[in-house]
Amino acid sequence: MPKTKSDLPGAIVLGMHDALVSQTGIIAGLAFALTNRYLIIMTGIISAVAAGLSMAASNYLAHKTNGNKQPIRAGIATGITYLGVSFLLITPFFMTQNVRAAMASAFIIAIIIIFICNWGICRANRTNFWRHSIEMLTICTLVSITAFVIGECAKYFLGVLI
């Protein structure tokens, strides 16, 4: 019987990468638009749970549609990874009242996650560590900058001062 390649690593990478990109962007936008860390925490948790469940369901449906053998396992892996990474990114806001310091800590956590995960992926696949790491870091940075700009525009145009 031929050995089939597991879908689990791809499901984990999907959850990790999507959480890094979307949650870093959401948190950055909120951190620059709001000064109340509890609003940032609450919104970050709500968006993480909603997006994590959505990612789990979407990956399950994608695997099921493609006829993969373990769509439930792939969906669960994606959702759990998404929630885990999201929790790590929100954690600094629990630890300090300084929103800017918490945001900087969240970025550092994101960078560490990117390098650790890419080290494992590139080692397993024998691919270029630096190329993959810089690519993922660039994507996260661009999304965060975009979210910052949107947060600043929303604050200015809507006249929101929280």
- Write the pLDDT tens digit of every residue in 59-81: 999 999 998 889 999 999 999 99
Q: Helix 37-65 crosses helix 24-33 at what angle (to 10 degrees)?
A: 160
Two tokens, residue 25: 């962007």
b/e string for 45-65 if b means 16 or more Cβ within 10 A? eebbeebbeebbeebbebbee
Is 70 strand, coil or helix?
coil
**Contact status, residue 89 vs residue 106, Cβ threshold 8 Å:** yes
Is position 51 within any domain?
A: yes
What is the total count of domains within the chain? Answer: 1
Which whole number is the average pLDDT over 6-33?
84
Expressed as residue numbers, the domain containing 122 is: 8-158
Q: Minimum mean pLDDT among 32-46, 95-109, 115-129: which range?
A: 115-129
Is position 38 within any domain?
A: yes
- Give residue 69's identity as a one-letter amino acid code: K
Instruction: Give tens-digit pLDDT for 129-152.
Output: 898 889 888 987 888 788 778 877
Q: Helix 99-125 crosses helix 37-65 at what angle (to 10 degrees)?
A: 20
Is position 3 within any domain?
A: no
Is position 32 within any domain?
A: yes
Contacts of residue 52, defined as CB under 8 A and 6 or more positions apart, other chains included, come to 15, 19, 79, 80, 82, 83, 86
Is position 2 within any domain?
A: no
Is position 1 within any domain?
A: no
**Contact status, residue 52 vs residue 90, Cβ threshold 8 Å:** no
Which whole number is the average pLDDT over 19-42?
86
Is 17 strand, coil or helix?
helix
User: What is the C-alpha end-to-end distance of the chain, expressed in Å?
Assistant: 62
Two tokens, residue 118: 């890419």
Other C-beta atoms within 10 Å of 108: how many?
Answer: 11
pTM of the model: 0.82
